[in-house]
Chain A
């Protein structure tokens, strides 16, 4: 017996204004989202198969690149002295920055009571996890002897040595491992009630058992929900300072050094804003096709894209302010090296990267001031792609341009990424997308219970509004 929940989301005058399009019920939300992971293996959509095949092929590129790296060592990359940090660290910062949008959506927007986040948080959190997985590999691969990575952790050892806790690189180890663990826990806690839904909807006994184990016996008891909501709130409250600290600590890798262009006090907030900026661009790039392919336009509406574009614009403007402050520090700092750095960025051999980043991150986002652009899908795709490229260039500018021209002209050298630099970067896309495709195949990519909650809250809100309007009419108030 289907439960036909009355439709109470009133039709909005403009579909671009609604976070949840009308015509949805608790049952329709549950079946539409929940049936994607429950699709029989033979009925897997062809688009998914095609996408996963491409991603899996790129994953093989990743394994080949890492395999060759293990055989030959970091000499296969373009890094040299003075540019000891090349694409490995650029990509590390780039990937981890992308992850930050997921935590922002899941934690900060939860604390701010933004119900619209409910339809995008699960996907964004998954994106966080997979991006952090890609990011975390780079510093380990860059160690040269990656099998000794555990030397970074404090463990009792026969050498009688301790990690150097005064080093920003050791802070990184703790920041990133904490970030990855807490994001995973937050994501898994969010999945428990949805696993229960899948357990209850599955028809195949084995599928039922697998989701049953994952749901750890969740039964939707009000007492359980009480503790659940409290734990979610606390996790959100803990993740919020965590996400800010992680990218701040990464920026300290640079900011506590002496290198021109790195020793800037604006780095922590500027890095955090840049991370969220790049992350929202990636969320948009991933969400736009997924909502189309799976028919989730009712849940991830034009309004969502609009709001995400606004966040992208706001964080982008903070990043532009950061660029301005860097120029200011160079001109006003009274240091010859800092002044030269600015000259080198604008006119040096790698100036294409600096001009490219100004174009992508400062100029290309300006059309987002207009609603027509924010609600135009092709425009959003182009701008998000440009932002993703621009944020990659930003890390290139910070890392490579600074290191190419350090203090002593006698040690200046150019950096040229090699084939293996690029193939590893391409390979991490394979890792990222393989994990993402597997995720959308076996787990609900939208948080089902939070969507039901959102539906309930919206219907309550509309009821109250209708009630108020009615009251106003009854007392001879102004009719709308």
Chain B
């Protein structure tokens, strides 16, 4: 019972420097661990490449949102000033040949929707807001937003074993290793 991996969220090691965290992430990857996450007070490119390789999906969403925003902006103006309420201003054409004057608003609405999508999809895909998360139980985890660097091997990893994983993390020169309660 006590050794069941599912009782805990994972195993967390704390490191003193970003270089140590980079080395530890490489080592864990090399040892075959796949379900892990690192926590650092600033983004570290080398760690991100190991822990979260691949596509975020955000650029595609932003592109779609931008196109939707721009085309709805254009349609809005087309309906407003050409279909529904044509009004002669300085002899400007009342049909589609008037498209140049529609460009500014088309552009602005494209940017508006794309920018909101970039921010909102980052938050939502990250699973935020999440007021509670098991890693907050780790002692000294409040330093993860200041000057400490953490590596977590999650209990769902096929290679995860309480004793072995703990022993493995201790070989990487951490300041401390602790189990993460759910």
Residues of A with C-beta under 8 A to B48:
222, 225-226, 229
| Assembled-state Cα–Cα distance A218/B141 (Å) | 12
Q: Are B105 and A174 in contact (CB under 8 A)?
A: yes
Assuming A226-B56, A228-B126, A449-B42, is B81 touching A218 (CB within 8 A)? no
The residue of chain A having its C-beta at the shortest distance from the C-beta of B82 within the complex is A165
Judged by a CB distance under 8 angstroms, whether B7 is at the interface is no
Residues of B with C-beta under 8 A to A229:
43, 48
| Assembled-state Cα–Cα distance A189/B85 (Å) | 40
| Assembled-state Cα–Cα distance A197/B40 (Å) | 11
Q: Are A162 and B81 in contact (CB under 8 A)?
A: yes
Q: Within residues 79 to 122 of chain B, which ones have a CB less than 8 A from any CB in chain A?
A: 80-81, 84-85, 87, 89, 92, 98, 101-102, 104-105, 107-109, 111-112, 114-116, 118-119, 121-122
A-B contact count (CB 8 A): 200
Q: Are B101 and A165 in contact (CB under 8 A)?
A: yes
- Choose one: A3, A186, A226, A235; the contact of B147 (CB below 8 Å): A3
Q: Are A189 and B44 in contact (CB under 8 A)?
A: no
Size bracket, chain B contacts? 35 or more
- Choose one: A163, A227, A249, A449; the contact of B122 (CB below 8 Å): A227
Q: Within residues 1 to 50 of chain B, which ones have a CB less than 8 A from any CB in chain A?
A: 16-18, 37-44, 47-48
Q: Are B130 and A217 in contact (CB under 8 A)?
A: yes
B133 to A: closest C-beta gap in Å? 6
Q: Are A223 and B59 in contact (CB under 8 A)?
A: no
A465 to B: closest C-beta gap in Å? 16
Residues of chain A at interface, number, CB under 8 A: 64
A-B contact pairs, 7 of them (CB 8 A): A34-B146, A154-B76, A217-B132, A222-B38, A223-B51, A224-B126, A225-B43
Q: Which residues in A have some Cβ–Cβ distance to B below 8 Å?
A: 3, 5, 25-27, 30, 34, 154, 160-167, 170-171, 174-175, 178, 181-182, 185-186, 188-189, 193, 196-197, 199-201, 212, 216-231, 234-235, 238-239, 241-242, 245, 249, 252, 449-450, 452-453, 456
Q: Which residues in B have some Cβ–Cβ distance to A below 8 Å?
A: 16-18, 37-44, 47-48, 51-52, 56, 58-59, 62, 66, 76-77, 80-81, 84-85, 87, 89, 92, 98, 101-102, 104-105, 107-109, 111-112, 114-116, 118-119, 121-123, 125-126, 128-133, 135-136, 141-148
